[in-house]
Amino acid sequence: ETRFEKIHNVIFNDSKVASIVIAEEIASLIQAKAEKNEMCVLGLATGSSPIKVYEELVRMHKEEGLSFSNVITFNLDEYFPMEKENIQSYYYFMHQHLFDHVDIDPKHINIPNGMVASKDLNAYCQAYDDKILSSGGLDFQLLGIGRTGHIGFNEPGSHINSGTRSITLDHITRVDAGPAFQGIENVPRKAITMGIGTIKKAKRIVLLAWGQNKAEIVKKAIEGDILSHIPATYLQEHSNTTFVLDNEAATNL
C-alpha cells in the first residue's frame, strides 16, 4: 500500500455542496452513536472553511430534529492569550456558528482556555489530551489547513507525536489573521493547539480546503514527502483521512 492510497481526495464543484455532504456524514455518526446509547466525540475546527458545515448542522437540528445531546466536542485550538468574550476568540466563533443554536450540553464543550496562567499551561494541555482519551477518543476530526501547512495551529517544525501544547504562530499565519484583528500587530503571537499526535489518533479525519489560495499547500500536503516542514503531510500516515476540496483548491493536483 502506498501513501497515496491513504489520503483520499474528493473534489466538488461547489464548497456549499461539499459542506452539506460532510455535515451529513457527521449527522449520521451522531445518530448511529445515539442509537447505541453512546456519546459521539467530535474534534472541531474554526476558520472560514468549516462555516457552511456548521450552518448545515444547525439547519438539520432546527428542521430535522438532529440532536446534539449525545455529542462531546473538543476544539483544536485557541489564541493565547485570548479572553472568551473577545469576538476574535475561537470560543466566540464556535458559539456564534454552532453551539448557541443546537442542544449540546455546555458541559460537553471543550475549547482550549486562552487565559490559563502561563505556569499552569503544560499541565492544562496534558489534561486536555487526557480528557479526549477518557472521553473515548475522537470519533471524527474536522480540519482546515493554513497556508503554512498547519493543521490546528501545528506550525512547520511540529513533531509527529506532539500533544496539545502552546506554540508560537508563524509569521504567515499572523499575516493571514491580520484582517480579522485590524492589523497584524494585534494578532496574538501564541496559541494553544491540539498536537499532531492528538489529531492522528482520531478514528476519522476530514480536511476541508476551498479556493485558489489553498491550491499550492493542498498539493504539497497530499503529494509531498512527509516532512515536519509541512505538518499536514503527516496526515498521509493516517489510514482514514479525506481531503474535501473545491475545484479551485484542487487546481494543482
Binding of residue 49 to ligand GLP (CB under 6 A): yes
Site string for ligand GLP, 75-94 (x = CB under 6 A): -xx-----------------
Site string for ligand GLP, 193-222 (x = CB under 6 A): ------------------------------
**Sequence-separated contacts (24+) of 115-123 with Cβ below 8 Å:** 115/81, 115/82, 115/83, 115/84, 116/80, 116/192, 121/166, 121/192, 122/165
Compute the least distance from the CB of residue 49 to ligand GLP, in Å.
3
Q: Distance between CA atoms of 231 and 157, rounded to whole angstroms?
A: 7
Binding of residue 146 to ligand GLP (CB under 6 A): yes
Strand order from edge to edge, sheet including 165-168: 77-80, 190-193, 165-168
| Separation of CA 92 from chain center | 15
Binding of residue 145 to ligand GLP (CB under 6 A): yes
Compute the least distance from the CB of residue 177 to ligand GLP, in Å.
7
Q: Which residues pair with 43 in a beta bridge?
A: 74, 141
Binding of residue 149 to ligand GLP (CB under 6 A): no
Binding-site member from 43, 112, 144, 149 for ligand GLP (CB under 6 A): 144
Give the Cα-Cα-Cα angle 246, 90, 83 (nearest 5 degrees). 160
Residue 155 annotated in active site: yes
Binding of residue 96 to ligand GLP (CB under 6 A): no
- The residue from 35, 155, 185, 248 that is catalytic is 155
User: Which candidate, 136, 127, 125, 107, places its Cα nearest to that of 42?
Assistant: 136
Could you tell me if 160 and 197 are in contact, meaning their C-beta atoms sit under 8 angstroms apart?
Answer: yes
Binding-site member from 45, 53, 82, 202 for ligand GLP (CB under 6 A): 45
Binding of residue 140 to ligand GLP (CB under 6 A): no
Compute the least distance from the CB of residue 76 to ligand GLP, in Å.
5
Most distant CA atoms of the chain, gap in Å: 49
Helices (H), 87-195: 90-97, 121-134, 171-177
Binding of residue 48 to ligand GLP (CB under 6 A): yes
Binding of residue 113 to ligand GLP (CB under 6 A): no
In the numeric block, the cell 472541531 is attached to 44
What residue ranges bind ligand GLP (CB under 6 A)? 45-49, 76-77, 144-146, 152-153, 173
Q: Which residues are identified as catalytic? A: 155
